[in-house]
Every structure is written in C-alpha cells, then in structure tokens.
Amino acid sequence: MNRTTGDHDGVRGGDGGRGDGDGRDRDEAGRARSARPRDGLGRPLPYGAEGVPRQPEGVVRGPEETVREAQRLLDAGMPFHAHEVFEDAWKSGPESERDLWQGLAQLAVGLTHAARGNVTGGARLLRRGADRLAGGSPAPDTYGIDVGGLVTWARELADRTEGGGRGGAVPDAATEAPRLRPGRLQ
C-alpha cells in the first residue's frame, strides 16, 4: 500500500515463490512489499521486466539533500519516486515541518496520478497538497522552496488536467515537473 495515498499496488494472487506463502511479496523484515519492477511513474510491470530502481525507504536526509534528490527525480519524470523522498522527510523531520513535506509529497503523488491518466484523482491530490502548503504552516521560503509558486503551479495543473469538466489532458510528468526553487540550481 502506498503510504501517502493509501492506494494498493494492485498486486494480488499467489506469490510465485517470491513471498512467504500468504499471497504477497515480503521484504527481509516480513513486511508486505511488491517485488515487481516498476516504471518511472511507479506502475507495476510484469515480473522479469526491466524497471526503474526503487527509492530506498526510511532514508534520513537533511532538507537540502531532500530538495536536491526530489528535484532530480521530478526532472527525470519520476514524481512517484520523488514523493517517497518527501515522505521520508516528513517521517524523519521535525513536527513543525510536517505540512511542508506532506504537501510536497501530495503534489508529487498528484502529478503521478495525472500522468498515469487518472486526471480526476491527480487534480484532487494536487489541490490537497496546494491547500496543505497554503495553510500557512510552512514559511513561504522554507529552505528556499517557493511555496507560493508551487501552490499556483499545482492549482493551475489541476485545472488544466481536469479541463474544466470537458475531459482532462494527461500531462507529461517530466515536462510538467515543478521547480522547487525557481531561479536556482537545485
């Protein structure tokens, strides 16, 4: 299950020798985890297919490293992976920064869903992330992140993808990737 959105990976059925016999893949600690390869948007691929390496979970990074790594992944068209970087930041960072990192994770997941073709769900998550960021908890320039610009970007992308009820346009994750720090090298 995706920790931010609650979405399941879509993996069901037997473990094919990859798990512990309960029908789900398990990691070395016994936690459920799909061993299926993933594409750049985090979608499961068939076993044996070549996928994109997963982001390791539970990595503690400083804010600067978090922003750099997330921007690298966003620029590469991998917002699903960027959301995992933001998720690690809100789980390991101070409570006072939780809304910042959760809001950024929601923006990345929103872009992921929209790029996968789920324009309604993507728009909903983009707006939810924008609302969290606009709620005033993170300072507008925390770590040089352009919170106001990201709020505007997310709301505009949500409106474009939904198409005002006329059928949405599926965005390209790499070309629509936001700049976390506009005007600065990441």
Say if residue 119 is exposed, middle or buried (CB neighbours under 10 Å; 0-12, 13-18, 19+).
Answer: buried
Contact 18, 35 (CB under 8 A): yes
pLDDT at 19: 45
Helix (H) or strand (E) holding 81: helix 79-92
pLDDT in tens, 63-109: 999 999 999 999 999 999 999 999 999 999 999 899 999 999 999 99
Per-residue CA distances from 10 to 7, 35, 42, 44, 46 (Å): 8, 12, 11, 8, 12
Spatial separation of the C-alpha atoms in residues 3 and 63, rounded to whole Å? 20
| Type of residue found at 127 | R
Lowest-pLDDT range of 25-29, 112-116, 170-174, 177-181: 25-29
- 149-180 residue pLDDT tens: 999 999 999 999 987 545 568 999 999 999 99
Query: Could you tell me the pTM of the whole model?
Result: 0.76
Residue whose C-alpha is closest to residue 184's, from 145, 157, 150, 156: 145
- What is the mean pLDDT of the segment spanning 141-149? 90
Res 7: pLDDT: 42
- By the 8 A CB rule, do 71 and 63 touch? no
